[in-house]
Structure formats: structure tokens, C-alpha cells
Amino acid sequence: MGKKIAFILSGCGVKDGSEIHEAVAALIALDRAGYEVIFAAPDVEQAATVDHRTASAESITRNTLKESARIARGNILPLSELRSEDYDAVMFPGGFGAALTLCSFAVDGPECSVNPEVESLINEALQSGKPIAAMCIAPVILARTIPGAKLTIGSHPETADAISAMGAVHVNCPVNESVVDLERKLVTTPAYMLASGPAEVYEGALSMVEELGRLF
């Protein structure tokens, strides 16, 4: 049996949930490498809901777990039910939901808070020596929760400065590569922080999954 990856989603859609291209690129890369994916998401209301055609905020509310189930094809756990023995590593695709619902970086910047279930998952993985991977904007969650974490969001200067303000170490990285923190077993890749299309996202996902395999 292959290693099991806890794949943590934040909804469905780049502007208020998980970025679908990134999620699918990572899932294909994981599948090709022989990993088994365990989908999970917090069972909470999304911090925001956005009309993706107009980029305008909507007054309706959406549940993060239910929306994430669209990407997971229904086979998804509430994050509260995910147990340590269920997974060997953790992965976060990007999308603005990572910075709105999984943490509050989109609103609070370096002073952001992290969803308690997400923070507990990260702390458990760290204590157990399990690798953690993140794409696009999702590495800000690691910056907030892991002092001194070495990671990348590509080369966006304001976001890199915010990561440094949280006590992490930002490393500029091209879209088709990833950054590895060997000490903490972290691997991050820029994805749509730099990518011009899904092919570049997939190249970064392949690099991330390849480096992830070296951390076990």
C-alpha cells in the first residue's frame, strides 16, 4: 500500500475556496506516484462566498466541507474526524479559501489566526515527523503555525514580507520548482502565485510530490 496523504480542502473555487486546477494537478501527481489520498475539510461556514463570474461578494453562506466534497467526489471527512493513523503526510492546495477560512491571512495579514482544527493537524504532523506540503498561498498557514519554517509563495514581495513578519523564512522559487525545509519536513511550491496556466501548476505539483517522497 502507498503512503496516505491527508488532502485538506477549503471549499471549491479559487476566490473563496480551494483552487481547482491546483487541487487536480496535485491529485494527478500524487496518483501517478502511488499515493492514496484522504480528503478532509473543516465543517464550518466559508469565511466568504464570491460570485466567480463577477468577482463580487455574495450574501449567501456556503459550508466548507460540503463545497470541498465537490472536488473530493463526495468521499471526504470532516477534519475533526481525521485521526493520526489515517495519514502519513499532509497537503494543502491553494486558493483564497486557504487564506480566508483555513486561516485569516487575507484579512489580518501577519497577525492572522489559523482554524483550530487545521492548527492541531499541523502540530500533530510536526510532532509525529510527518511531512507537510502546501501550494500557492497556503504556505502562509505554515508560516503562522511553524516558527522558522522555510517556504515559498513564489516571489510576491508583499506576501514574502508578511511571511518574514510571521517569523518564517521565505525563499524565492520559480513556478516549476519547490522549496524544501528538511529540518521540519516541509515542501512548498508557488503554483498560481506565479503560474500562467495549469501546465505550469502541474510542473510545480510534480516537483512538490517528488520532493515530498524524499521526506519520508
**Where are the domains positioned within the chain?**
4-213
pLDDT > 70: percent of the chain: 100
From the list 12, 112, 136, 173, the catalytic residue is 136
Q: What is the CA radius of gyration of the chain?
A: 15
Local confidence band at 1 (pLDDT 50, 70, 90 cut-offs): low
SS3 185: coil
Q: How many CB atoms lie within 10 A of CB 104?
A: 17
In this predicted structure, the answer to whether residue 89 has a pLDDT above a threshold of 80 is yes
The model's pLDDT over 166-186, given as tens digits with 9 standing for 90+, comes to 999 999 999 999 999 999 999
Contact 14, 96 (CB under 8 A): yes
C-alpha cell at 91: 497537503
Domain made up of 4-213: CATH architecture? 3-Layer(aba) Sandwich (3.40)
Q: Is 136 annotated in the active site?
A: yes
Amino acid residing at 105? F
Helix (H) or strand (E) segment spanning residue 105 = helix 105-108
The model's pLDDT over 187-196, given as tens digits with 9 standing for 90+, comes to 999 999 999 9
